[in-house]
């Protein structure tokens, strides 16, 4: 169902809807990539998201070069922040064979590399932050992308790197507290021209809650 224009902050947070009917799901665009929103916690002001490109790559068994279209996540300082207790992974591709031999348990897929006249497959690795310094900077020629995973990471999960990455990660968003508006019988809205919160009430709009004429 399409979100009503008066509800929430769709234009400010670059939210969109992908698909139709029961198969539709919300997307958030950040740093040139789409992030699937799996859950919204309004009380904690948090989102559980996953990079749609990375999710599709992890679910596929075929070698492809989609991984090269991933971008490092840069968050708008006035809109989002990473929630605490997140694990960081460094995605590496186009690496030489010695790297794969050194870190076999961190392999998550393969990369279809095009050369002048042939194509060759190389491994894609996801190294936890504490393992990354052990890798020489000249061992991989692809761009290094940092991926985030929810709930931290334990060494006992090394055989489940793909599952850990598939969890997605949490973002906290910054927005005005909507509870006062809701408690007064209003709907929470936003004026995206002035970037100000508005409480939409039956007779008029107020800045914080219905009936607060000194605040409207």
Q: Say whether pLDDT at 216 is over 60.
A: no
Identify the CA nearest to 209 among candidates 193, 188, 195. Answer: 188
Q: Give tens-digit pLDDT for 166-205.
A: 889 999 987 677 788 889 999 888 776 776 788 899 889 9
Residue 189: its pLDDT value, please?
82
For residue 24, the model assigns a pLDDT of 79
Rounded distance, CA 148 to CA 88, Å? 5
Q: Which helix (H) or strand (E) holds 53?
A: helix 52-59
User: Has residue 8 got a pLDDT over 80?
Assistant: no
Give the span between the Cα atoms of 56 and 195, in whole angstroms: 34
Task: Classify 195 in phi/psi space as left (phi over 0), alpha (psi -120 to 50) or beta.
Answer: left
Q: What is the rounded average pLDDT for all residues in the chain?
A: 77
Tokens of 55: 């999710």
Could you state, in order of their start, the residue ranges of all structural domains in the chain? Answer: 15-173, 178-216
Number of other CB atoms surrounding residue 118 within 10 Å? 7
Residues 29-81: tens digit of each pLDDT = 888 888 999 988 877 888 999 998 888 888 877 776 667 788 888 887 677 88
Asked if residue 82 lies in contact with residue 148, where contact means CB atoms within 8 angstroms, the answer is yes
């Amino acid at each position: 169902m399409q979100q009503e224009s008066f509800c929430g902050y769709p234009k400010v947070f670059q939210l969109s809807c992908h698909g139709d009917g029961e198969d539709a799901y919300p997307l958030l665009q950040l740093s040139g990539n789409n992030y699937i929103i799996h859950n919204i916690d309004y009380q904690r002001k948090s989102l559980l998201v996953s990079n749609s490109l990375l999710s599709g790559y992890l679910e596929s068994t075929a070698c492809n070069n989609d991984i090269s279209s991933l971008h490092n996540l840069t968050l708008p300082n006035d809109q989002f922040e990473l929630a605490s207790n997140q694990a960081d992974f460094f995605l590496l591709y186009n690496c030489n064979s010695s790297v794969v031999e050194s870190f076999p348990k961190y392999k998550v897929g393969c990369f279809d590399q095009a050369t002048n006249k042939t194509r060759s497959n190389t491994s894609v690795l996801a190294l936890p932050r504490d393992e990354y310094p052990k890798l020489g900077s000249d061992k991989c020629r692809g761009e290094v992308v940092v991926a985030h995973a929810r709930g931290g990471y334990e060494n006992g999960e090394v055989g489940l790197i793909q599952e850990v990455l598939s969890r997605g990660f949490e973002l906290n968003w910054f927005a005005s507290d909507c509870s006062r508006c809701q408690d007064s019988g209003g709907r929470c809205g936003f004026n995206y021209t002035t970037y100000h919160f508005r409480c939409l009430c039956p007779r008029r709009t107020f800045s914080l809650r219905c009936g607060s004429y000194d605040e409207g």
